[in-house]
Amino acid sequence: MTAVQEDSGVLAGERRMLIDGELVEAAGGATFDVEHPASEQVVGVAADGTVDDIGRAVGAARRAFDTGDWAHDLEFRFHCLMQLHAALEADKERLRRILVTEVGCPVTVTGSQIESPIAEVKHWAEHARSFEYLVDTGVHDTQLGPARRKLHYEPVGVVGAITPWNVPFYLNIAETIPALMAGNTVVLKPAQLTPWSGSELGRIIAEQTDIPAGVFNVVTSNANEVGAALSADPRVDMITFTGSTATGRAILAAGASTVKKTLLELGGKSAHIVLDDADFGSALPMAAMMACVMSGQSCVLPSRILLPRSRYDEGLGVLKASMENFPMGDPWTPGNMQGPQISRTQREKVLGLIDSGLKSGARLITGGGVPDQLPTGYYVQPTLLADVAPDSRIAQEEIFGPVLTVTPYDTDDEAVAIANNSIYGLSGEVSSADVDRAVSIATRMRTGNVTINGKSHFGIDSPFGGTKQSGLGYRNGTQGFIEYLHIKTIGMPA
């Protein structure tokens, strides 16, 4: 939690892009507006990059990788990333104000979006420095006699990073810093709604680090074809993307002609199985908080609550009280933990899905609309829907808003079946007084990650990735670092 500074308020970020070591306007000088979702006002502009701009950035990254020393000089990479860590730490209050301005994230909960990613820069610098890039696997018997084999971990090449708007600064760091420390060069395409969290990173790198020209590039744009051009460019060796499953499919298709390596963190529709022996007074208020903090704009949010029929009404009562008392309002006011949705379009999507749930037979327990006390800003009431059919649209489609659906079940097997009834498999949660029982349930859930009794699976030192249509590959942990490396097997005389 972070207290708001006395001078805090709306702050526009860097309007220029970083291409080949220079902070530049878009080709032709075009810009697009950036809106503060709590005021519905335009508060600044960003460079509206073109396909030509992305081409220039890719060309710079390709040249820097192929002809420079970045891929081969680990100590220099460490030096540059430690410079970046210090610069971000010194500039973090400016970054915080820009984040609240373009996202509407309450200042109270910006720690995970500012302090955490800044700390991760240092973590990845140190991790990469200590990583073993040449591993001797010993002598192996072969048909041609004994052979010693070594594994050489080497950078992929040019990495294109396409990031979303919900936690933009964090994901700009998470998708580019491990790639850089692995020896790759990078082109970052930030989300259209949150360009400054990317352009500010580019400005700081250009002005306060020794990272060579072309190694790190940022192209902001309001045009979808710019991200598509990055995905399809044959000079790009890898795409890392966080966002919707629909866009992930398009990125896979765009990279298919060059068989491009792709790292995807996509949508989620996570289920929280609350077993009949769980402590409802502990588990359910936390579930309500997770639904509302960040305005529910989180891919790992356990938005489907599965309650045992024997304690169904009790559970609904706890959830209702928690959601009706959740602190929501102006993101600049300390103590508020739910701000607005990112845009008018996103609010309309959330309200439309709530309406769809009601039409399909769900029962509205609380919320469901726009709060009367917040007529300005893209706010949505914390919303609780009961009696939600497992196959209904509201139970199957990612909402990305402060909405919980509740479905009853009779047996553990039924709960697992309902939880697994989804195209997604990013995350999940189990609550139970019996940890062994909870682990047994967790191992049957088809997800990449599971939380038991509120103990988070998420951390920089543990792999994070989804199953089914929630993604390909991993972030975090050693596995996440290796995603940005190729493994070359070398056979040699024993």
Q: Which residues are catalytic?
A: 265
Written as six digits, the tokens of 306 are 């599965």
Cα–Cα distance measured from residue 14 to residue 199, given in angstroms and rounded to the nearest whole number: 6
Tokens of 54: 């992305």
The DSSP bridge pattern shows strands 185-189 and 261-265 to be unpaired
Please give the Cα distance from 136 to 143 (Å, whole number). Answer: 20
Please, which residues bridge with residue 189 across strands? 162
Q: Which of 451, 450, 367, 349 is nearest to 404 (CA)?
A: 367
* 3-state SS string for the chain: CCCCCCCCCCCCCCCCEEECCEEECCHHHCEEEEEECCCCEEEEEEECCCHHHHHHHHHHHHHHHHHCCCCCCHHHHHHHHHHHHHHHHHCHHHHHHHHHHHHCCCHHHHHHCCHHHHHHHHHHHHHHHHCCCEEEEEEECCCCCCEEEEEEEEECCEEEEECCCCCHHHHHHHHHHHHHHCCCEEEEECCCCCCHHHHHHHHHHHHHCCCCCCCEEECCCCCHHHHHHHHHCCCCCEEEEECCHHHHHHHHHHHHHHCCEEEEECCCCCEEEECCCCCHHHHHHHHHHHHHHHHHCCCCCCCEEEEEHHHHHHHHHHHHHHHHCCCECCCCCCCCCECCCCCHHHHHHHHHHHHHHHHCCCEEEECCCCCCCCCCCCCCCCEEEECCCCCCHHHHCCCCCCEEEEEEECCHHHHHHHHCCCCEECCEEEECCCHHHHHHHHCCCCCCCCEECCECCCCCCCCECCEECCEECCECHHHHHHCCEEEEEEEEEC
Nearest to 284 by CA among 314, 310, 254: 314
- The full length of the chain comes to 494
Strand 383-386, strand 403-409: pairing:
parallel
User: How far is residue 358 CA from its own chain's centroid?
Assistant: 30
Rounded distance between C-alpha atoms, residue 236 and residue 58, angstroms: 7
Distance CA 104, CA 109 (A): 11
